[in-house]
Structure 1
Amino acid sequence: MKETMASETTTGSDESFKLAVAMALLRSKLNKTSDTHHPPSPTSNSQLLKWKNKAKERKQEIIRLKQDLIEVEGGMHHELLQGSASCRCYFFEDLGKLSPKRLSGEGFDDRFKDVLRRRFLRQVRLKERKRRRNEGSTQRLVLSDNKAVEETEQLRASVDFLVELCDAVRQDDANFASWSHQAVDFILDSINNTLSKGKNIESVEGIIGSLSLHLVRKMCTTLQGNEANHDAQFHVQHLLRKLGSESCIGQRVILAVSQRISLLAENLLFLDPFESTFPEMHSNLYILIQLIEYLVSDYLSSWLKTNGFAIELFEEWVTSILHARKGLQLLETRCGLYILYMDRVIGLIAKLVGQVESLQKLNPNILQRLFC
């Protein structure tokens, strides 16, 4: 009896299992048939393909923009615009040439000018932040909401950046060329903008005077017998020459240089020619006189045509040059070339002054000493 009931139970469960499998197979077949009779519409396929293509285009565009950003930020943009956005390509091209045709900023492409300006300011802020951190100061670079004060502070920090950069010219000439070009352009633009607005004039003039003195001192600081440092002299001289395109800077540079010549002439007068420092001072005299000649020949004519030309400052540095010549005259028995080079510079100044009618009203004593 029990065996009969067990066999009936097993038979019933097998039939239920078979029925469930049959229903599953039937449903699967029905689904396949439904898919066959109702394929995806062409409209849905085209929409899907359209959005896939758009996604690929956006992805490619993002990759392309990232590459452009890396090139611009990494200084590789000069490959796109040869000779325009790159700072190293022509800035020091006319090193040591008299009256070059190409001046600072010529041929510079405006498309990258704003990018380079922001990049330079970011570098200045990083340097300034590092310097303040070393000094234990927590003050930020700019604290004032006044735009004029902010521009003056940026100018001051940029000048400090350029002076500090001149210390590293011997370690990395390529880096020096790139950043010094941007520093010169930024300083010239900032000074022009500030002076045109007529605000913070005294602060800007103080910054310019400090810049002139520091760079002239850097130019005269070399190590005897070190060829690399003598090359650095000419690079700093070229920086001063580029900055001198602005009258207020160029005239102060000439004043600082002429005063330095007077000081060196006095020191050489009482110095033993066999002293170890004599060759360095001798070399400095030539590079200082040469810088005056560059500035006068390059820019004096254009300075005289500007409305903001400072006659008082002009009289001051002309007087200083005449005083320096008097000091060099005492060294004529040692080296007559000093006075010959200085006379050539003074003759060039006299020639240009004689061509400008407005300068005939200068101090008669200065004119008499200049033309005698």
Structure 2
Amino acid sequence: METKKRKREILRLKEDLKVAEDGSQCDIFPKNASCKCYFFDKLGLLSPKKIGAGSDQRFSDVLRRRFLRQVRIKERKRRRPDDSLLHRISDCDNENNIEQLSASVDFLLELCDTVSLHSLEEGNFKNWCHQAVDFILGTLATMSPTERNREPVEGIINSLIMRLLRRMCSALQGDESYHFDTAVQFYIQHLMRKVGNEAFVGQRIIFAVSQRISAMAESLLFMDPFDDAFPSMHNSMYMMIQLIEFLVSDYLLIWSNTGDFDLRLFEEWVVSILHGRKTLELLENRNSLYVLYIDRVIGVVAKQVRQLSFLQKLSPQILENLFS
């Protein structure tokens, strides 16, 4: 009896292994399954569950293969059969990280460009976004600091950030101009927050967002409050300030403990945030809440900076402006 049980167990394990190895034949999760790891859990709230927390490695491998297969399908549809870049992303053992990164970024951006309330409710958008973000972060994790800082990788990541930021600040739905879809905006913000888990990406997001805050503040200064575009820009301002707060609260101390933390970029985005506050001061007569919110963000940054082990290496002028 014991021998039969053991044989059945071995057969079951062999079948599980076959399913896991042959992702092209069968998926453990159906294509319309809801996200199992709550990727979009606590949307718009502080301290979400971290990416990958409590995930099963076996299921992660299956999802990874399914994601790669879906990306290849998208690539084939987009390119001619004789295109030399048809197979720009190949099997899981492909060592060309730049091509994999580029293809997965394109896949995520295409999802975000076509997202709507209907696609959010279907669940496929959430599943594919989760897998794309995990794949992007996983690919970056395999790269050395030297590889990351090369022009192709920086270009891919900067393109990802700018297009997501543009999408978050113009989450339009339908044909009506300036019809703002707040739900989509929150989902794009959450995606930027998740992909910002990696310091290489997160610090660049903060820098880009702080610069956009300054530019938008200057635009709002000369804009008629009754302009049709004003409500969406007003909403985007809060969304961007909140995104910086999320990234700093979630990750700054974690980033600072990594060996390849970019101190120069850190100082640049701190200066950019402080400059953004000065620009928002010009709008204080119109809306004092902008300054209150950015002050809260600066307070979070200052609190976190006090705990950094390399505090003495930072520019005295930056520290003086930050703590004043």
TM-score bracket for this pair, using the shorter chain length? 0.7 to 0.9
- Which of 91, 98, 108 in structure 1 is aligned with 2:39? 91
Pick aligned residue for 1:150 from 76, 86, 96: 96
The one-character-per-residue Cα deviations of 1:259-289 (angstroms, maximum 9, x if unpaired) are 1101100100010111100001000000000
Q: Which residue of 2 aligns with 1:312?
A: 264
Change (3 A) 1:357 1:220: same
1:141 aligns to what?
87
Deviation at 1:201, TM superposition (A): 3.6
- Whether 2:162 is the aligned partner of 1:213: answer yes
1:275 aligns with 2:227: yes
RMSD: 2.8
Matched, 1:175 2:124: yes
Deviations for 1:226-284, whole angstroms, at most 9, x for unmatched residues? 56x21000001001111111111100010111011011001000101111000010000
List, as ranges, runs of 4+ consecutive aligned residues in structure 1 with deviation greater than 4 Å. 68-72, 224-227
CA shift at 1:155, angstroms?
0.6
Equivalent in 27, 43, 58 of residue 73 of structure 1: 27
Contact 1:132–1:138 (CA under 8 A) maintained in structure 2 = no
- State the shift of 1:338 in Å: 0.1
Sequence identity percentage = 54
Match of 1:347 in 2: 299
CA contact (8 A) 1:87 1:182 kept: no
Could you tell me how far apart the structure 1 residues matched to 2:197 and 2:126 are? 18
Q: State the 1:225 CA deviation.
A: 7.0
Unaligned runs of 5+ in 2: 1-10
Q: 1:139 to 1:248 in 2, by over 3 A?
A: closer
Deviation by residue 1:110-131 (Cα, 9 ceiling, x = unmatched): 1122221111111111112222
Q: Decide whether the 8 Å contact of 1:141 with 1:153 is kept in 2.
A: no
TM-score (norm 1): 0.74
Matched, 1:129 2:76: yes
Selected match of 2:112 from 166, 187, 200? 166
Shift of 1:199: 3.4
Indicate how the Cα distance of structure 1 residues 200 and 245 shifts in structure 2: closer, same or farther if over 3 A, else same: closer
Three-state SS of the structure 2 residue aligned to 1:93 is coil
- SS at 2:57's partner residue? coil
* 1:186 counterpart residue number: 135
Which of 207, 211, 226 matches 1:259?
211
Kept in 2, the 8 Å contact 1:71–1:77? The answer is no
> Secondary structure in 1 aligned to 2:265?
helix
Q: Which amino acid aligns with 1:166?
A: C
How far is 1:305 from its partner?
Answer: 1.2
Go from structure 1 to structure 2 and tell me whether the alpha carbon gap of 1:71 and 1:138 turns closer, same or farther (over 3 Å shift).
closer
Cα offset, 1:352, TM superposition = 1.2
Tell me which structure has the larger Cα radius of gyration: 1
Q: Counterpart in 1 of 2:171?
A: 222
Give the drift of 1:169. Answer: 2.1
**Alignment match of 1:111 (pick from 44, 47, 58):** 58
Unaligned runs of 5+ in 1: 1-57, 80-85
Q: State the alpha-carbon separation in 1 of the partners of residues 109 and 187 from structure 2.
A: 13
SS in 2 for 1:331: coil
In 1: Cα distance, 2:89 partner to 2:69 partner: 16
The letter of the residue matching 1:180 is C
Report if the CA contact (8 A) 1:297-1:348 is conserved.
yes
Give the deviation of 1:149 after TM superposition. Answer: 6.6
Listed one character per residue, the Cα deviations across residues 346-369 of structure 1 (whole Å, up to 9, x for unaligned) are 011111111224123211221111
Write the letter of the residue equivalent to 2:40. F
**Which residue in 2 is equivalent to 1:325?**
277
Change (3 A) 1:176 1:78: closer
